[in-house]
Amino acid sequence: MPGVSLAQTAARILLGTTMAAAGATHLTVARQEFRAQVPDWFPVDKDLVVLASGVVEVSLGAAFVALPKRRRLIGGLLAAFFVAIFPGNIAQYVEGNDAFGLDTDQKRLVRLFFQPVLVLWALWGGGLLSRARRAP
């Protein structure tokens, strides 16, 4: 695709595949662990939140891979999704909930710094952070 580097395409496909796989685990084998990331104060049933976020992750991940012409829209939606679920990561740290090997405050704190990386990855892979190319 014009204006998209091979690295951006690889990043888009890797992130999309990872998201679809993570979403599938929300719906199946890791539901209990994902429940630990839903804040206690959130007014919706934890299992419903995990299932809904799993469907969103599968949908966005698959779309990011399968619809390269819509990469900008989907990359923006993925970035917004990562921002929207960030309170769950903060709650896991604040409430001291163990899940996915995050069994210390230090590990849970370090994880918080990875969320901005995911946001940037989605934006870059979607072509939203590309530098404009100047004509000679």
Check residue 37 and give its pLDDT.
82
Instruction: Give the global pTM.
Output: 0.89
**102: confidence class by pLDDT, cuts 50, 70, 90:** confident
**Closest to 67 measured CA to CA, from 27, 5, 125, 3:** 125
**70: confidence class by pLDDT, cuts 50, 70, 90:** very high
**112: confidence class by pLDDT, cuts 50, 70, 90:** very high
Domain ranges of the chain: 6-125
Query: Per-residue pLDDT tens for 30-40?
Result: 998 888 788 88
As a whole number, the mean pLDDT across the chain is 91
